[in-house]
Amino acid sequence: MISSIDMDITALKKKYSKNTPKQEKELLEERMSKAHTTGENISQLSIDLNYYTLLSLSVEKLLKEIEKYEQAEKMLSEETDSEMIAMAKTELEETEENIKQYEKEIEKIQIEREFQDEDDNRSAILEIRAGAGGDEASLFAADLFRMYKNHSIKNGWEIQIIESNITEGGGYKEVIAQINGKNVYKKLKYESGVHRVQRVPTTESSGRIHTSTASVAILPEAKNIDIEIDPEDIRIDVMRASGAGGQCVNRTDSAVRITHFPSGIVVSCQETKHQSQNKEKAMALLRSRLYDKKKLEEQEKRSNLRSSQIGNAMRAEKIRTYNFPQNRVTDHRIKKSWHNLEAILSGEIDDMVSDIKEGIQLEILNNEK
């Protein structure tokens, strides 16, 4: 029996038998133990160690499968008993499948490393704005916010609204929120762009399908050390927060609006009853917008093809369509669909987000070849 990987098994063994990742892992462990005296960057060492630990484990699994494959191959060439031959063939098929799986796993780990972003471990600012479609667009914006909110809760992230503009129908003209947690930006950064919905609105008596849009922006949360804001460059206005009336009316000047003169960016927050908290949230939003602006300007200065491709993928015009009649969600960047629309809108987006990230990264790597 000649397996489809029979010709490559020797090359595979040679490629991975040195197990360089294991050696790198051991060296990094030693450097980590001395970092407090050598002054090395512990955060970067930790990232590198995590990468080589994962890579080393996958390589070890692959080498074990190669060993099992070679043993089964030897058995097949030496045995005359039909039962043992059948057993060897089964073992060959199983190990071949496992080898392919571990090769893909190694490739995935390496690609992840290739596209590592300095902001990946940060929290994020989520901005959703209703687009074309009137009331239906604002209801869709609310659906998208619930999707990201539920997803955040399932991941153990904390989500807090910074600013919102609610319509009479219960939708959002605009909603801005802070999502705090580990690797938030890494997981959600490819969600930025225009999202489109196709469905029959509840107000449509003739059953006609409407198309509406909402824009989503995911910004890495910026810290004070990332963006230094000169107090002379901003104006802070305080005002009475608007509300629904009755007991909900805020009778104190707690709403905050900050204007940044050099950039022209204006941010506001009125979500809490405390002026200091609203100011803090508004400043966090301003820092993140300035940081994103700075990153975009740096990216445009670079001639690097990958940098521009990543930027395009993360700021594409129309990235996704949610088609209710066909129970289908389609991402136009990787040309892939998922047929579980209800689950996705309830926050079950892990598989979709992972598929999109891998699809975009593979496409960029293929374009570089």
The domain spans of the chain are 9-114, 124-368
Predicted confidence at residue 17, as pLDDT, reads 77
Residue 275 has pLDDT above 50, yes or no: yes
User: What sections of 167-216 are H helices per DSSP?
Assistant: 184-188
Q: In what helix (H) or strand (E) does residue 177 lie, and over which residues does it extend? A: strand 172-180
Predicted confidence at residue 126, as pLDDT, reads 97
Q: Give residue-wise pLDDT tens across range 215-231.
A: 999 999 998 888 989 99
Predicted confidence at residue 166, as pLDDT, reads 93
Residue 305 has pLDDT above 70, yes or no: no
Predicted confidence at residue 303, as pLDDT, reads 53
User: What sections of the chain are H helices per DSSP?
Assistant: 9-17, 20-38, 42-78, 82-114, 135-154, 184-188, 275-301, 305-314, 341-345, 350-368
Q: How confident is the model at residue 61 (pLDDT cuts 50, 70, 90)?
A: very high
Determine the straight-line distance between the first and last CA of the chain, rounded to whole angstroms.
35
Q: Give residue-wise pLDDT tens across range 349-360.
A: 999 999 999 999
From the list 141, 142, 116, 136, the residue with the least C-alpha distance to 43 is 116
Which residue has tokens 């927060």? 241
* Domain over 124-368 is classified CATH 3.30.70.1660: yes
Which residue has tokens 């960057």? 41
What is d(CA 282, CA 286) in angstroms, rounded to the nearest whole number?
6
Residue 7 has pLDDT above 60, yes or no: no
Q: How confident is the model at residue 205 (pLDDT cuts 50, 70, 90)?
A: low
Q: What pTM was computed for the model?
A: 0.78
Predicted confidence at residue 250, as pLDDT, reads 46
Predicted confidence at residue 258, as pLDDT, reads 96
Average pLDDT over residues 73-93: 88
Residue 249 has pLDDT above 50, yes or no: no
Average pLDDT over residues 51-57: 93
Average pLDDT over residues 125-152: 95
